[in-house]
Structure 1
Amino acid sequence: MSGNDYINSLIMGEVSIPSIIILNTSNEQYFLPAEPVEDLQQMLQFFSSVLDGSAPAYGGDGIFQRIKRVAYDARSTIMSVFRSSPLLGCFLFGLPLGVISLMCYGICTAESDDGTEDLELMKAEEEEEEERLTERTEEEEEQTDRTAEEELTESKSPAEKKLD
């Protein structure tokens, strides 16, 4: 990294050269002066405000800052790809986005199958099943009646059978 690239990536922003930044490496916080430092007195005042804790601290290593860093790193990587070779960047990001867009378009404009044919087929099958069950029930009743009559005739004595 050359010049202010390291500091720019650290604070996730742009800093002009020359600038004064105080970095606390234990918790990744940094301190920037509120106004540009023009003389020694302003610089000493800035240092003392950092030491006594009255200067606002930026950055840190909290969860929100980490999420912000991931987003900044992604943005800076994409920007560097487009700066170094715009054609490759367009192909690298444009092709997948185009394919995804076409898939979404196809899904949203597809003819919907409302299922009426399936519903009619299911109703016809249910009716056939009901008819089969009804026929089977009638046959079973007839069979039961015949069996009952046969049992009745078998249980009769030979004299009763002659009378019938």
Structure 2
Amino acid sequence: MIHALAHVQSQNIGDGTNVWQFCVILKEAKIGNNCNINCQVLIENNVTIGNNVTIKPGVQIWDGITIEDDVFIGPNATFTNDLFPKSKNKDFKLEETLIKKGASIGANATILAGITIGENALIGAGSVVTKNVPANEIWVGNPAKFLKKNTND
């Protein structure tokens, strides 16, 4: 289901995926099956999203971001794809970010460019992730630090 008030250019959206109002999805984006793309989400071109992914309102998925299957992205989570952003930057260097299978990112978390978040990792709400997060760990804070193992599979 694609809401009538969404602007979806991509033809690469899997079966059973819902795209809600006021979303913008650019032409080259790839989105898997059974995803829920909530209202007010922007997805750029060089993006791959797996199956069974939930993206809550107010999230922008920039070029260079890959989200694997069964990932949850909380409301207003923020991603970056440039470590040194500035307007009209002729030296822009795209940094790729990978969110691995089963990871969860809490509301208002910030994920810096070039980060990998491991399988089944959990990022606490409001955390600022500045380095890679191993699989099956919970990280919280600013900057985000290891809290404990994630035993909820």
Q: TM-score, normalised by structure 2?
A: 0.21
Q: Of Structure 1 and Structure 2, which has the larger fraction of its residues in helix?
A: 1
**Highest CA radius of gyration, 1 or 2?**
1
